[in-house]
Amino acid sequence: MPSLSNATVAAQRNDAYWDFADYIHANRESVNAEKSLESVRRSGSPRDGRGRKVRPGQCQTADGLFETKQYAEAEPLLTQVSQSPELESKRKAILLTLADTKVSLGSLSGADGVLQELNQLDPKFPALHRTLGIVFQREGRLTEAQVEYHREFQVSGDMQAEQQAIALKQALSQPR
């Protein structure tokens, strides 16, 4: 199976909310009618892994917050949306965006956890290993970072990741 390009992953990440938007558009009358708790129960709207309703626009809002670098506001929405069974087809892209958000917030261990979850789902998902390389490099785990950057090149053909792997390998081989 051919690898997805980083542009494809970015498009998936940026479009993660479109499936939900299509649902909202197709069910506009019932969505607009959701005024009472009873109508929410009958609506069949997406829910996260804890049974909480994923409200209309949450995916789009999370994406907009991420794109405008409002990471602290995006993180809880991305976490909730990533657990929605109805958005399973976009889950990998949402998880990558959540990991990127955590990296931007300086939560490297949080990003590592999300990336390990993504690795369990799809170890060949484009940008996964590059992002792991970034996390490991920021943590000072340079040998592991070098391996992840090279793995990204093997998975997706990302030349920038391979250049980073080569640079780290050279830096690691030089006497201190």
pLDDT (tens digit, 9 = 90+) per residue, 7-62? 544 444 444 434 444 444 444 443 333 322 233 333 344 444 444 555 556 777 88
Which stretch of DSSP H or E encloses residue 150? helix 142-156
Contacts of 7 (CB under 8 A, 6+ apart): none
Is 20 inside any structural domain? yes
Is 79 inside any structural domain? yes
Is 142 inside any structural domain? no
Residues 8, 157, 89, 69, CA torsion sign: negative
Is 3 inside any structural domain? yes
What is the model's pLDDT at position 88? 83
Q: Output 76 or 63, whichever has higher pLDDT.
A: 76
84-112: per-residue pLDDT in tens?
887 888 899 999 999 999 999 999 999 99
Is 175 inside any structural domain? no
Number of domains in the chain: 1
Give φ, ψ of 70 to 5 degrees.
-95, 65
Is 132 inside any structural domain? no
Q: Report how far residue 137's alpha carbon sits from residue 119's, in angstroms, rounded to the nearest whole number.
A: 18
| 3-state class percentages of the chain: helix first, strand second, coil last, to nearest 5 | 70, 0, 25
Where in the sequence is the domain holding 47, given as residue range(s)?
A: 1-90
Is 43 inside any structural domain? yes
129-138: per-residue pLDDT in tens?
999 999 999 9
Is 1 inside any structural domain? yes
Model pTM score = 0.68
